[in-house]
């Protein structure tokens, strides 16, 4: 009876031509995911992707989702890229990558910078465009080569208007992210011990997931070239995240010095790693996926964005998640799994405790503290 009722409701919504995306019901107008992949995430300056250019990372991951879905690249009409520090906002490099991947020049490309949520915003923007009919079939991608650009593009005080900086909130926008992590820890009482314990658990979960092949379905191995310590160029296939500390202990994490202030609690062990990587999600309406005979692996329901004081920017998810679940017509207790960015243990812990989340349901395969946080990529990976 339950199955029959679901089918009846699905037919009802189809007949009404509604664009509502109700959880648990299938509607031809649903925006669905038919393919999703990421590259391995590797350590900046020393990992397997350190010499791989942004356009190469994008080409590989775009080609990967097209191949996984088995579609003709000529049906792609839009590419949305989330990236933070990439030269020129990543638009030209994205254009290079899509053309190299066989997507026609009639398709459009746009880049988005919402800092750590850039890749997620790319997915949300593309889903919205597909829902309202602006585009038909698209790829939302996130990419960052922190090796290439992280230290080269920084907003300095001397670049800013001095009169604007007289406003304390404006001046806080210049704070390094590590200091905002320390502010969260101090303001909300997140101890160093709790941060190290959280980081250890992230590494342990990621270690278990990697050793048991739980990342294989989501990782696209990347064939690339890398320079060794002697300057020799080697051709390699990078297939695994290389930042996981398999032998991490509470003692080893506790021995690390504060990274951002002498008496601080954020360290290289309980903060996300500086990394390189890319991720991509192929989206279209359910009716299009059905027409093409493609498997549907997920449905985009809704998203929410909420601003917070820049001095504690990492607490954003604690305020955006309630808005998102409210828009979806559910409660936080209805969430089975939560993928939460671990920019820093301080902010991740605050968000978990503020929302009353079951820690066992958060990042079951580990998070950015364990395998890295290529800024523009992470949202799409999540």
| Predicted local confidence at residue 17, as pLDDT | 40
| Predicted local confidence at residue 382, as pLDDT | 95
Global pTM? 0.91
Tokens 């190469």 correspond to 56
Tokens 């922190």 correspond to 146
pLDDT along the chain (382 residues), means of 10: 45 45 88 98 97 98 98 98 95 97 98 97 98 97 95 79 91 92 97 98 98 97 95 96 97 96 96 97 98 97 95 96 95 96 97 97 97 97 96
| Predicted local confidence at residue 9, as pLDDT | 42
Under a CB-based contact definition with an 8 Å cutoff, are residues 372 and 243 in contact? Answer: yes
Q: Domain limits of the chain?
A: 18-151+168-380
| Predicted local confidence at residue 21, as pLDDT | 55
| Predicted local confidence at residue 6, as pLDDT | 39
Q: In CATH terms, is domain 18-151+168-380 a member of 3.30.930.10?
A: no
């Amino acid at each position: 009876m339950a199955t029959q009722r679901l089918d009846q409701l699905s037919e009802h919504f189809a007949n009404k031509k509604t664009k509502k995306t109700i959880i648990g019901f299938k509607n031809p107008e649903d925006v669905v995911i038919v393919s999703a992949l990421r590259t391995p995430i590797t350590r900046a300056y020393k990992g397997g992707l350190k010499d791989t250019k942004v356009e190469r990372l994008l080409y590989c991951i775009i080609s990967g989702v097209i191949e996984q879905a088995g579609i003709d690249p000529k049906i792609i009409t839009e590419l949305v890229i989330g990236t933070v520090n990439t030269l020129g906002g990543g638009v030209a490099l994205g254009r290079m990558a899509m053309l190299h991947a066989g997507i026609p020049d009639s398709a459009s490309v746009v880049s988005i910078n919402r800092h750590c949520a850039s890749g997620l915003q790319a997915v949300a923007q593309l889903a919205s465009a597909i829902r309202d009919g602006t585009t038909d079939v698209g790829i939302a991608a996130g990419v960052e080569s922190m090796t290439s650009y992280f230290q080269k593009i920084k907003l300095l005080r001397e670049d800013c208007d001095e009169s604007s900086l007289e406003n304390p909130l404006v001046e806080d926008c210049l704070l390094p992210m590590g200091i905002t992590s320390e502010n969260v820890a101090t303001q909300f009482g997140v101890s160093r011990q709790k941060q190290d314990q959280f980081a250890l658990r992230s590494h342990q979960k990621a270690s278990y997931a990697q050793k048991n092949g739980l990342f294989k379905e989501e990782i696209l191995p990347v064939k690339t070239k890398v320079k060794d310590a002697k300057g020799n160029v080697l051709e390699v296939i990078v297939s695994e995240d290389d930042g996981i500390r398999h032998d991490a202990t509470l003692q080893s994490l506790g021995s690390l010095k504060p990274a951002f202030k002498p008496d601080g609690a954020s360290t290289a062990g309980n903060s996300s790693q500086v990394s390189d990587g890319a991720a991509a999600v192929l989206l279209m309406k359910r009716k299009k996926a059905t027409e093409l005979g493609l498997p549907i692996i997920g449905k985009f329901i809704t998203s929410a964005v909420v601003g917070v004081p820049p001095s504690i920017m990492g607490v954003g998810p604690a305020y955006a998640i309630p808005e998102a679940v409210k828009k979806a017509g559910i409660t936080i207790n209805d969430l089975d799994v939560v993928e939460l960015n671990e920019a820093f243990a301080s902010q991740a812990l605050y968000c978990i405790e503020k929302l009353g989340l079951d820690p066992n349901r958060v990042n079951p395969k580990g998070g950015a503290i364990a395998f890295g946080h290529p800024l523009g990529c992470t949202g799409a990976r999540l």
